[in-house]
Amino acid sequence: MELEPVGGARKLDIQELEEIRNNAYDNARSYRDKTKLFHDKKISQKHFSIGQKVLLYNSMLKLFLDGVVEIESEKSGKRFTVNGQRLKPFFENFQAHTVEKFQVEPS
Residue 84 phi/psi, 5-degree rounding, is -60, -25
- The model's pTM: 0.39
Every domain of the chain and the residues it spans: 1-42, 46-91
Dist. CA 71–CA 56, nearest whole Å? 9
Measuring CA to CA, which residue among 65, 64, 82 is closest to residue 73? 82
Give backbone dihedrals phi and psi of 25, rounded to 5 degrees, phi first: -65, -45
Instruction: For the chain, list residues with pLDDT below 50.
Output: none
Torsion of CA 21, 24, 29, 33, to 10 degrees: 170
pLDDT for 18: 95
Q: Output the pLDDT for position 3.
A: 65
